[in-house]
Amino acid sequence: MTFRKYLVLVGVTIFAAAGDSLLSRGMKEVGNVSLSHLSDVILAILNPWVAAGIVLLLGFFAAYMTALSWADLTYVLPATSLGYVLLALAARFLLHEHVSPTRWLGIVLISSGVGFVAGGPPRTHVTPHTDAQNSARNALVIKSRNS
């Protein structure tokens, strides 16, 4: 795997943890929001913490899509599990939330299990087809049906 691909996985992990943390902080400031009151949702989105969280989560989705373009979901998702640890640390030290020992143990167990899963290859051997190859294949299928 190249340095760029590792960088994408790090981006997925950091953008997700930071985006969720900022979104949480902003929503604590905003308070309860009801989907039946659209104005509440719009005001929540205008909160700077919520807006920053949304931007970071958009970065997460962009990096996630990039990672999924070259690796299987069963590799990408486990490889980004460090986000659970980062999220718990951010919740504890930046948001001053209580993270119980049971939750820490759960995070350790999840991360350990994911370490086993992520040890596999980053991509199954699938040959990507170009548009020209797909067009030629489709033409052959149509021709064989008409014969």
Considering its fold, how many domains does the chain have in total?
A: 1
Band the pLDDT of 127: cuts 50, 70, 90.
low
The predicted pLDDT at position 27 comes to 95
pLDDT in tens, 39-89: 889 999 999 999 999 999 999 999 999 999 988 888 888 878 888 888 999
Say how far residue 75 (Cα) sits from the centre of its chain.
Answer: 12
Kindly report which listed range (17-26, 68-77, 111-120, 123-132) carries the lowest average pLDDT score.
123-132
**pLDDT (mean) for 17-31:** 94
Give strand ranges (E) for the chain: none
Give the domain range for residue 88: 3-146
